[in-house]
């Protein structure tokens, strides 16, 4: 069995979530940070389907220290994630995911929500700071 080293895990997490350069990979300059870091997007899910209550939208998280922090092999959200208040419909969100696009895109991370979030009209789903945990391996 083989595994990545802690160094490789931490550098890849920093590159993806914190827009940090990774020196020494490829040529002398390594993998550079993006000129514009951009965002990743948090989504609430009901099992495998994204929530669909009225007013729902993914929440942008900056690919920087303003959006994520890393301790060891774990990245977490720095700020509370405030999803749009429901204007109609209902969902019970039991998972949270990270995508690389505001709509569509590729899912980068998926985790269970320890306490499912019941969403009905006039309820604003909130994911507390540090509740989203991405473990590298």
Per-residue model confidence as pLDDT tens digits over 12-63: 999 999 999 998 888 777 899 999 999 999 999 999 999 999 999 999 999 9
32 assigned to some structural domain: no
Q: What per-residue confidence (pLDDT) applies to 128?
A: 95
20 assigned to some structural domain: no
pLDDT tops 90 at residue 118: yes
Give the DSSP H or E segment for 98: strand 91-99
Domain count, the chain: 1
Residues in the chain: 137
* Predicted TM-score of the model (pTM): 0.93
64 assigned to some structural domain: yes
47 assigned to some structural domain: yes
Range of the domain at 46: 38-135
Q: What per-residue confidence (pLDDT) applies to 57?
A: 98
Q: Can you state the percent helix, strand and coil of the chain, rounding each to 5?
A: 10, 40, 50
15 assigned to some structural domain: no
Give the DSSP H or E segment for 97: strand 91-99
128 assigned to some structural domain: yes
Say how many C-beta atoms besides its own lie within 10 A of residue 62's C-beta: 17
- Rounded CA separation 38/99 (Å): 12
53 assigned to some structural domain: yes
Q: What per-residue confidence (pLDDT) applies to 85?
A: 97
Say how many C-beta atoms besides its own lie within 10 A of residue 44's C-beta: 25
- Rounded CA separation 14/68 (Å): 9
Per-residue model confidence as pLDDT tens digits over 62-107: 999 999 999 999 999 999 999 999 999 999 999 999 999 999 999 9
When pLDDT is cut at 50, 70 and 90, the band that residue 114 belongs to is confident
Q: What per-residue confidence (pLDDT) applies to 27?
A: 79
Per-residue model confidence as pLDDT tens digits over 60-74: 999 999 999 999 999
């Amino acid at each position: 069995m083989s595994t990545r080293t802690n160094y490789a895990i931490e550098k890849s997490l920093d590159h993806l979530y914190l827009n940090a350069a990774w020196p020494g990979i490829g040529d002398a300059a390594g993998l550079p940070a993006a000129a514009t870091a951009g965002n990743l997007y948090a989504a609430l899910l009901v099992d495998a389907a994204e929530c669909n209550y009225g007013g729902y939208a993914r929440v942008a998280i900056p690919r920087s220290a303003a959006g994520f922090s890393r301790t060891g092999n774990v990245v977490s959200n720095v700020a509370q994630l405030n999803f749009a208040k429901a204007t109609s419909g209902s969902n019970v969100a039991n998972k949270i995911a990270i995508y690389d696009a505001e709509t569509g895109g590729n899912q980068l991370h998926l985790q269970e929500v320890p306490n499912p979030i019941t969403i009905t009209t006039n309820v604003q789903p909130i994911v507390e700071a540090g509740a989203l945990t991405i473990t590298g391996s």
